[in-house]
Each structure stands twice: as structure tokens, then as C-alpha cells.
Amino acid sequence: MKFNPIDDELWEFVEPLLPPLASEGRPRADDRRTINAILYVLKTGIPWNDLPEEYGDDVTAWRRLKEREEKGVWKRVMDAMVARGYSTGAVDMDSLSIDSDTIPAKKGSSCWL
């Protein structure tokens, strides 16, 4: 499966939407490299601990994915991308769909909802 890392144009759009760097303490791992690691795992479906070394530390990538989800960072990035798509005409309502037929399975449940 081919994976294309974030290009410069997309990175210029995404970077300002990320949390700012801390003014003190240990420098954090490179954001672009870490996001590429996250996208690589999500795209390929490999286990985190099989992440190629070129993408950095697997634990850092996993932790960053989780922390930024909890803080709503990924939602802000997606909302900004959709807004940009609308404003440039790259996305319109006719090209979108929502699948409302998805129901989460309950572990150990013996009945259908």
C-alpha cells in the first residue's frame, strides 16, 4: 500500500491549527513527522510497534493521536479543511454522504438493536 506523506502545501495549512509549542521544558517531537506517523499507521493498518523508524517513536505518535483527539484538535483541523473546500468550490453538499446505518456493537450483547 502506497503512503504519501503530508506535502508542503497541506502542512502550511495544518501547522497553524496545532497546539503551540511549549515555551519551556523538553522540546516536543517534530509535529509533521509525528502526524505522518499517525497517518501511516491509520492508512496501512499496521500495529503501532511496527511503525518504521523514519516516522519516529511509535509511542509518541500514539500518544499525540490520543491527546489531540481529546483536545478536539483533529476536529478543528477537519472543520477547517471542509470550510476551505467549500470556499474554494472543491467540496459541495452534493458530493457528501452520511451513513446513518452504522451501529456500534456492544461487547457480549446477545441481541440486535
Mean pLDDT in runs of 10 for the chain (113 residues)?
A: 89 95 88 97 95 96 96 94 86 65 57 46
At 113 the pLDDT is 44
Exposed, middle or buried by CB within 10 Å (0-12, 13-18, 19+), for 108?
Answer: exposed
Exposed, middle or buried by CB within 10 Å (0-12, 13-18, 19+), for 70?
Answer: exposed
The whole-model pTM stands at 0.77
At 32 the pLDDT is 97
What is the rounded distance in angstroms from the CA atom of residue 52 to the CA atom of residue 98?
34
Number of neighbouring beta carbons within 10 Å of residue 21 = 9
At 104 the pLDDT is 60
Domain boundaries, given as residue ranges, for the chain: 28-91
Note the helical H segments in 1-113: 8-14, 31-44, 58-70, 73-88
